[in-house]
A and B are shown apart, each in its own frame.
Chain A
Amino acid sequence: MTKPTLVLLIASCAMALSACGEKAQTLGTKDDATAFSGVNNAFIEKGWQAGDKTSWERQLNARAQYGQNDHTRSP
């Protein structure tokens, strides 16, 4: 068997076997990052430290009070 024929044979075998591959069919979800870990884009709000849960909670609570509680803004 000549070398080109052998290479061709191996390549065709590899291509044929690739069809035998199958995606994993495991149930469930992928792991999700926590919300307080922040995002790496320009839309992130300033005034809190990404990765610090306490800081993130303070940011959201302050935002809720300022943005949604109009009695604190104009009692």
Chain B
Amino acid sequence: MARMKFICDAERCIECNGCVTACKNEHEVPWGVNRRRVVTLNDGVPGERSISVACMHCSDAPCMAVCPVNCFYKTDEGVVLHDKDTCIGCGYCSYACPFGAPQFPSQGTFGVRGKMDKCTFCAGGPEANGSQAEFEKYGRNRLAEGKLPACAEMCSTKALLAGDGDVVADIFRERVIKRNKGAEVWGWGTAYGSAKAGQKPQAEGVKK
């Protein structure tokens, strides 16, 4: 098995926020904490695109690199998880993460920042698999139940794909070939540079 990965098909995402709702419901995530969000690019402009974003379970995760108490760990499947008993809620991971994945509950006295919470790829945490303690701290452990993340399985248009990176890549590639569109989004067919590289520069004064 390769590593567990998410990918969001921007051609299919309809910004319904079903993934966000599925995640919040599955793990009983409190108010103010969003493990997953739908981001819209060029909102209101023709051709706008939406993508669903959460922890991308980076191969070389910056949150792991900056954590001063070393509360992160990575499973054999490449899922980045953390131990809330070790986390001190400093927020360094929040600054390091390029996706805004680490979230902090602020329901304590004077809005004090609690321990970090983030997408677990529905893999729970370092408590016993499927235990009440694991559910209360990290949510359901669907991977150990033989299921895939709830956000992807609930996606109405199957825009959000999750699972073994090789399988997900195959599914996405098949789609792109059949609809003959979408490869340019991820830069296939382009090596070392953008798709515009090597083309004639635009004349001055031409509005882009």
Contact call A71/B174, Cβ cutoff below 8 A: yes
Interface size on A, residues (CB 8 A): 33
Q: Does B75 contact A (CB under 8 A)?
A: yes
Contact call B146/A37, Cβ cutoff below 8 A: no
How many A-B residue pairs lie within 8 Å, measured between CB atoms? 111
Contact call B76/A64, Cβ cutoff below 8 A: no
Instruction: Write the chain A residue with the least CB distance to B77.
Output: A35
Residues in B with CB closer than 8 Å to A32 are: 73, 75, 81, 125-126
Interface size on B, residues (CB 8 A): 43
Residues in B with CB closer than 8 Å to A67 are: 148, 153
Distance A61 CA – B161 CA, assembled complex (angstroms): 12
Kindly provide the distance from the CB of B67 to the nearest chain A CB, expressed in whole angstroms. Answer: 10
**Interface set of A (CB-CB < 8 Å, partner B):** 27-41, 43-45, 47-48, 56-57, 59-61, 63-65, 67-71
Q: Could you write out 25 A-B pairs with CB less than 8 Å apart?
A: A28-B70, A28-B71, A30-B85, A30-B127, A31-B126, A32-B81, A32-B126, A33-B144, A37-B129, A38-B144, A39-B129, A39-B130, A39-B145, A41-B130, A43-B130, A43-B140, A44-B130, A44-B146, A60-B143, A61-B167, A64-B168, A65-B167, A67-B148, A68-B171, A71-B178
**Interface set of B (CB-CB < 8 Å, partner A):** 1, 69-73, 75-77, 79, 81-83, 85-86, 123, 125-130, 140-141, 143-148, 152-153, 158, 161-164, 167-168, 171, 174-175, 178
